[in-house]
Chains A and B, each alone.
Chain A
Amino acid sequence: MSATAALTDQRRREVVIGVRDVVVEFGARRVLDGLSLDVFKGEVLGFVGGSGQGKSVLMRTILGLVKKRSGVVSVFGEDRDAVSRRRLHALEQRWGVLFQNGALFSGLTVRQNIQMPMRENRKISQRFMDELAMLKLQLVGLPGDAADKFPSELSGGMVKRAALARALALDPELLFLDEPTSGLDPIGAADFDELIRTLQKTLGLTVFMVTHDLDSLYSICDRVAALEKGKVIGAGTLDEMLRSDEPWLRAYFHGARGERLTNSRVVGSGLGAGGGG
């Protein structure tokens, strides 16, 4: 435990995602208003905020799916806007994205979905791709017979797992998760949290996770950042967040639902003394 903590501390220096003063506007509405945030190598960052506050917008801005008005987004130490297309394409292969509803290609089977990034970006034999696809399925805990199913034949939890397998297809170093546990039952959500944690440790991933799920924050996030009115109002370990006097954070973590979890956490886990009120 302490060894891992020391390792994490050591890695803290390396910034994987750096967001500086980013402004994003949709028409007249300013969604992100000079937002700055750092994600460090090897950590799981939970990004929280109220509905419609722009959590997914930040993720999409980092991915380049949403245009920003001003500010700098750098990934792996390279400014998104400054690098060449080639370089950007190489960067893009170093991250994987799990979209909220999976975003699996409905016309392809699960296997073909997983092989899609490999087929487009790597020159490897069909046999190797088949084996790797199988391996990814196994990593995310899907049975082998799911490989030849179409996304419409899968349950919600299986879609998330298959989408995660696709996100891991190119063995990325950085994983974006958009509400990974939304729409899953508590057991499924806990399993999925566990899965992300295991994968993160095994593969040494950096994870940027947009979430609503307090359980996920407590169980797998190393750090939490909170978004309110287009800015990050707080970022730090969960304990730091719990001690914060910021009104929104207090409402979030010390509301009825938050409080229940905070209390159970103090009793139930050895992650450190929680600051329950």
Chain B
Amino acid sequence: MAQEPDAAPPDFSRPRTGDGRRFVLSGAWTLAASGRLERVAAELAEEAVRGRDAALDLGGIARLDTAGAFALNRVQDELGRKGVASAFVAARREHEILLQEARLREAPTASHPRENFLFELVADFGQSLVGGLREAARGVSFLGEFVRALGSLARRPWTFRLTSLVYQTERFAFRAIPIIFLINLAVGAIVAQQGIYELSFFGAGSYSVNLIGILVLRELGVLLTSIMIAGRSGSAITAELGSMVMREEIDALRAMGLSPIEVLVAPRILALVLSLPLLTFIADMAGLLGGGVVSWTYGGTSPAAFLALLHNVIRVRQFMVGLIKAPFMALVIGVIAAQDGLSTKGSAESLGRQVTSSVVKSIFMVIILDGLFAIFFTAIDF
């Protein structure tokens, strides 16, 4: 039975002497022979089919495994289908057992049944459309569950996990300060440099302060922060909740009569809702700082002049527009992240998929929401 790699390959011969259609098999009829096994078996069937009957002499086989036995059975089946009676002779006891075991009781199904390509394309499109709508419906329903959980927390405020809220806020806000500060500083500086350069052609270099102020405060600060937080904290929430689903921790909570939404989701989403405005404020300041520094070093506007110009152009509402959006962005990120985390299935692969989908969806929704806000603020002339 050993499969020495250097064993003789499977083969067969037809001795001239003796009783008619006898085939003497030799060598190792094992899977180790790879393609050769298949080829020799096919040749054997081809040769044997020319007679009325065939005797396959297995006495000389050095080794046989299930693959070899299966190939031999297949030869016999094929001969049978073509009306050639065949029999195994001189088989050893252990080979007989193998030959018995290596028979398919069930026809193998084809490996990859393929539909029409066009049909598949349309079906796929329809499926993802329906899937997307379902997803949206689930998101809204989850938001409802979250609000209901908030309601029951409001009635029994002592059950709220304050420690968890503080801990999550530290993770989402405090730990994110350096990165939020840095990217907004950089983006503020870039906007200022580009603005000063392009506007200077029209002699309007000083208007770059308007550009920086309005762009950073109304849009860039909150948008960059939201995208960053969706990638940083949204993915963390999905991964955490997802792995808790996988280890049945969520089920354990439910079995104890606790609501995972109240215990796990509410503190996280509330922490996000608190964190994002704080971070947006820091982002705004960093953006203005970056713009100011570049205006000074590159545009030659002194800090005092920059501040004076800024004071002229920017009203409090510009600042408020950015800040008002922040908690809504946080809510969207949190709900998507939590819902994706909780709908993780058993496998680690599914967890990875959920995290990716959570980040992609929340960034997409953050940008859509920002667009809706832009329309809204324009409509109310704010």
A-side residues, CB < 8 A to B, are 76, 90, 93-94, 106-107, 111, 118, 122-126, 128, 130-136, 138-139, 143-145, 147-148, 150-152, 168, 170-171, 173, 201-204
Contacts and interface: CB of A to CB of B under 8 A. Distances in A.
7 contacts: A94-B3, A125-B35, A131-B74, A133-B108, A145-B109, A171-B30, A202-B98
Contact of B3 (A118, A131, A144, A173): A173
A130 B111 contact: yes
A145 B74 CA distance: 22
B2 A144 contact: no
A111 B111 contact: yes
Contacts of A203: 1, 65-66, 98
Given A106-B347, A122-B34, A171-B31, A135 B70 contact: yes
Given A124-B34, A124-B37, A204 B1 contact: yes
Contacts of B106: 134, 138, 143-144
B94 interface: yes
B104 A171 contact: no
Contacts of A132: 31, 66-67, 70
Contact of B35 (A93, A124, A134): A124
Contacts of A124: 31, 34-35, 37-38
B76 to A, nearest CB: 14
B309 to A, nearest CB: 58
A173 B348 CA distance: 32
Contact of B2 (A106, A173, A202): A173
Interface string B101-118: 110111011110000000
B345 interface: yes
Contacts of B31: 118, 122, 124, 132, 170-171
Please give me the 6 A-B residue pairs with the lowest Cβ-Cβ distance, nearest first.
A171-B65, A134-B108, A152-B347, A144-B106, A123-B35, A122-B34
Interface string B317-361: 000000000000000000000000000011111100000000000
Contact of A152 (B1, B38, B111, B350): B350
Contacts of A150: 347
A115 to B, nearest CB: 9
A126 B111 contact: yes
Contacts of B350: 152
A28 B105 CA distance: 54
Chain B interface category by residue count: 35 or more
B67 A171 contact: yes
B108 A131 contact: yes
B97 interface: yes
A123 B1 contact: no
B109 A147 contact: yes
A76 B5 CA distance: 12
Contacts of A111: 111
Question: Most chain-A Cβ atoms within 10 A of its Cβ — which of B2, B5, B66?
Answer: B66
Contacts of B98: 202-203
Interface in B105-153: 105-106, 108-111
A122 B97 CA distance: 25
Given A139-B66, A204-B1, 12 more contacts: A93-B32, A118-B31, A124-B38, A128-B71, A131-B70, A131-B108, A135-B70, A144-B106, A152-B345, A170-B32, A171-B65, A203-B65
A118 B98 CA distance: 20
Question: Most chain-A Cβ atoms within 10 A of its Cβ — which of B1, B35, B71, B345?
Answer: B1
Contacts of A148: 109
Contacts of B65: 171, 203
B349 A106 contact: yes
A128 B346 CA distance: 32
Contacts of B71: 128
Contacts of A90: 5
A118 B111 CA distance: 15
A111 B110 CA distance: 11
B240 to A, nearest CB: 20
Interface in B277-326: none
Nearest to B65: A171
Contacts of B34: 122-124
A33 to B, nearest CB: 33
Nearest to B41: A128
A276 B65 CA distance: 40
Contacts of B348: 106
A119 B3 CA distance: 18
B38 A131 contact: no
Given A107-B349, A144-B109, A203-B65, A135 B102 contact: yes
A173 B1 contact: yes
